[in-house]
Amino acid sequence: MRVTVIGTGYVGTVTGACLAYLGHRVTCVDTDRTKIEKLRMGEMPIYEPGLKELIEVARERGGIDFETDVRPAVAQSDVIFIAVGTPPLPSGESNLAYLEAAARSIGGAMDGSKFRVVVNKSTVPVGCGNLVETLVREGVLESRPAIAQDVHFGVASNPEFLREGSAIHDSLYPDRIVVGAEDSRTTNMMRELYEPLIEQTFVDPSFAPRPRDMDKVAMVMTTLTSAEMIKYSANAFLALKIGFSNEIANICERVGAEVTEVMTGIGLDSRIGTAFLHAGLGWGGSCFGKDVSSLLHTASEYGVNARILEASLAVNRMQRNVVIQKLQEKLYILKGRTIALLGLAFKPNTDDLRDAPSLQIAEKLLQMGARLRAYDPIAMDACREQHPNLRICYCNDALSAAEHADALVLVTEWPEFADLNLANLASRMNNAVLIDGRNLFSPEKARAAGFEYAGVGRANHRSNGHAHAAAQDAKSTVV
Ligand SMILES: NC(=O)c1ccc[n+]([C@@H]2O[C@H](COP(=O)([O-])OP(=O)(O)OC[C@H]3O[C@@H](n4cnc5c(N)ncnc54)[C@H](O)[C@@H]3O)[C@@H](O)[C@H]2O)c1
């Protein structure tokens, strides 16, 4: 099929590349010229493992190109995806300006030559399927009023569940595909588009091998509104699971329990599940905060008092301060102290800093008079560029970040940090204090290396050695 994807961010570029890999002919469009120029030259505007390789193969399979003008692409396409940003407004409401501009531009490019499907892949509040239909229709009327009645299209909501850092894997081997639509023509076209994914008939790329137990993918067909609610509910629930673990961690710390063991113990209950139960210094990223706030806003528009969602946001805000409290407990005075941050990205394997806990922690520490050093394997350039006012001394590696520091804070659990030589790190510091914001290290090993160690929700006295393994792999601790 001919496909246009509007927006070449984390979602649009990956979606376009995967669809082209599956054999569709794809054009990705963005208003940002710099991004398009980079993509044309084979450079990635974002860091996402495997994306560059996937685009290279996709060029030879279905074919993929990158444009700034939406019109020729839309005119030729059967399916047009909207994957533009929907960032939060100060009120918590989603900013729909990009979505509206994209929908109008699609209308302006349509003619009566074929039936097309306009797909909302951006995360949008309930009712946006209807809004997109109206805006596309208005776009048609503004540009070609004479043929407006001959232009036929359907609207689908196809929320995206990919995780940055494993986006290619998540897109090629999804747990499910959700499609909301109101007519069978639209539904059938979406089924045809995703056929190779549903049936898993494509040859898997070497850099993203098919999981051994991968079977057919379930396609969940719903109404437009249900599909929109599915996306928000999924993110709200995931945020809640992490928030719950954090709240339990704070209690564990007081009563002398080990949260990694507690979460293993509850996660193995099949009704609960082990994923997203890792306690730490709070979630971040472009989606959870924005989506929970947007759902809260929708709830309030309909007079629903969504207390769990409110609490979920509040608990997460508080959790980021836990690092500051732990630093104060260990160092008493933070003014003039040098704090080294390991990791800036909101999670490993991405350069995304949107709503990253590192930023809130860095701002607070600077406000309190601390000096900051930091190392992140990928996100330092993005941080320099996007947050020029953060007075951080960026370092080439973890060892130089630790040099003469009074405390080290593990903010992002990049895999390479797990292999650090802790004794070497500790020996370079003024005060060998380690605040492990992601429970990445074994407390015993950190202490043996000379660190004064504090994790999140970890008892000070421990030692059966199972806790760390429990955090890494729940099953490994079950004997
Ligand atoms: N990032 C994620 O992990 C993720 C996961 C699931 C869903 N989502 C949702 O997907 C949507 C996109 O997220 P993202 O992270 O890819 O955003 P992004 O900010 O990385 O990319 C959005 C892109 O859209 C472009 N754009 C804006 N208006 C445009 C227009 N009128 N025409 C053409 N291009 C336009 C921007 O220039 C930008 O490159 C959001 O609604 C988000 O909530 C994101």
Q: Provide φ and ψ at 179, rounded to 5°.
A: -130, 120
333: Cβ contacts below 8 Å, ≥ 6 apart: none
CB of residue 7 inside a 6 A radius of ligand 1: yes
Distances (CA, A) of 114 to 151, 188, 231, 375: 8, 15, 30, 53
CA dihedral 285, 289, 292, 295 (to 10 degrees): -100
**Maximum alpha-carbon separation in the chain:** 78
Q: DSSP for 229-244?
A: HHHHHHHHHHHHHHHH
The amino acid at residue 326 is K
Whole-number Å distance between alpha carbons of 401 and 405? 8
Q: Tell me the best of 232, 286, 295, 350 to mutate to test the pocket of ligand 1, counting ligand atoms within 8 Å of each CB and taking the most.
A: 286
* Residue numbers in the chain where pLDDT is lower than 50: 463-479
pLDDT at 474: 40
pLDDT at 459: 82
Ligand 1 geometric centre to CA of 7 (Å): 6
- Measured by CA distance, the residue closest to atom 18 of ligand 1 is 9
Ligand 1 geometric centre to CA of 385 (Å): 19
Whole-number Å distance between alpha carbons of 290 and 293? 5
- Measured by CA distance, the residue closest to atom 13 of ligand 1 is 85
Summarize pLDDT for 318-336 with one digit per residue, the tens.
Answer: 999 999 999 999 999 999 9
CB of residue 102 inside a 6 A radius of ligand 1: yes
pLDDT at 461: 60
Summarize pLDDT for 210-220 with one digit per residue, the tens.
Answer: 999 999 999 99
Q: Tell me the best of 4, 15, 27, 30 to mutate to test the pocket of ligand 1, counting ligand atoms within 8 Å of each CB and taking the most.
A: 30
CB of residue 122 inside a 6 A radius of ligand 1: yes
Q: Are 406 and 433 in contact (CB under 8 A)?
A: yes
Q: DSSP for 353-418?
A: -TT-HHHHHHHHHHHTT-EEEEE-TTTHHHHHHH-TTS-EEE-SSHHHHHTT-SEEEE-S--HHHH
Q: Tell me the best of 4, 5, 10 to mutate to test the pocket of ligand 1, counting ligand atoms within 8 Å of each CB and taking the most.
A: 10
Whole-number Å distance between alpha carbons of 395 and 373? 7
CB of residue 8 inside a 6 A radius of ligand 1: yes
At 245, list the tokens.
Answer: 């673990």
CB of residue 181 inside a 6 A radius of ligand 1: no
For residue 113, give the DSSP letter: S
Ligand 1 geometric centre to CA of 83 (Å): 5
86 CA closest ligand 1 atom index: 41
CB of residue 27 inside a 6 A radius of ligand 1: no
pTM as predicted: 0.93
Whole-number Å distance between alpha carbons of 76 and 292? 37
Whole-number Å distance between alpha carbons of 286 and 465? 35
Rg (CA), the chain: 24
In what side-by-side order are the strands of the sheet with 392-394?
Answer: 392-394, 371-375, 338-342, 407-410, 433-436, 452-454
Whole-number Å distance between alpha carbons of 433 and 420? 15
Report the alpha-carbon angle 256-309-437, nearest 5: 40
Summarize pLDDT for 219-244 with one digit per residue, the tens.
Answer: 999 999 999 999 999 999 999 999 99
Report the alpha-carbon angle 231-308-164, nearest 5: 35
CB of residue 35 inside a 6 A radius of ligand 1: yes
Q: DSSP for 10-48?
A: HHHHHHHHHHHHTT-EEEEE-S-HHHHHHHHTT--SS--
Indicate which residues carry an active-site annotation.
Answer: 287
pLDDT at 89: 94
Q: Are 245 and 279 in contact (CB under 8 A)?
A: yes
CB of residue 286 inside a 6 A radius of ligand 1: yes
CB of residue 234 inside a 6 A radius of ligand 1: no
Ligand 1 geometric centre to CA of 98 (Å): 9
Q: 129: how many CB neighbours lie within 10 A of its CB?
A: 23
pLDDT at 308: 98
Which one, of 253, 276, 81, lies nearest residue 160 by Cα?
Answer: 81
For residue 220, give the DSSP letter: E
